[in-house]
Amino acid sequence: MLEPETHRTLLSLSVPMIVDAMVSLELPESFMDHGIRPLLPYTRTVGTAVTVKVEQVEDTASADLSELVYAYTIQPGAFCSIMVIEMPAGLLDYGIFGDGAASMARQGGFVGAVIEGAIRDTLELRDLGFPVHSRAIAPGCCTSRLRAVAGVPVRVGGRTVCPGDVILADNDGVVVIRPPDLDRVLDKALAVKDWELRGQIMLASGATHDEMEQALGPAP
For the chain, the domains span 4-184
Task: Tell me what pLDDT residue 164 has.
Answer: 93
- Identify each DSSP E strand in the chain by its residue range: 37-38, 45-56, 81-86, 94-97, 110-119, 132-137, 140-141, 146-150, 154-156, 159-161, 166-170, 173-177
Domain 4-184 has CATH 3.50.30.40: yes
CB 54 within 8 A of CB 64: no
Each residue's pLDDT tens digit, 146-173: 889 999 999 999 999 999 999 999 999 9
Ramachandran sector of residue 67 (left: φ over 0; alpha: ψ -120 to 50; beta: rest): alpha
Mean pLDDT of 10-29: 95
Strand partners, 156: 159
CB 196 within 8 A of CB 203: no
pTM: 0.91
Each residue's pLDDT tens digit, 113-123: 999 999 999 99
Alpha-carbon distance 142 to 119, whole Å?
Answer: 11
Give the model's confidence band at 36: pLDDT under 50 very low, under 70 low, under 90 confident, else very high: very high
Rg value, the chain, Cα: 19
Least confident of 59-68, 86-95, 99-108, 121-130: 59-68
Q: Would you say residue 124 has pLDDT above 80? A: yes
Task: Tell me what pLDDT residue 75 has.
Answer: 59
Helix (H), strand (E) at residue 119: strand 110-119
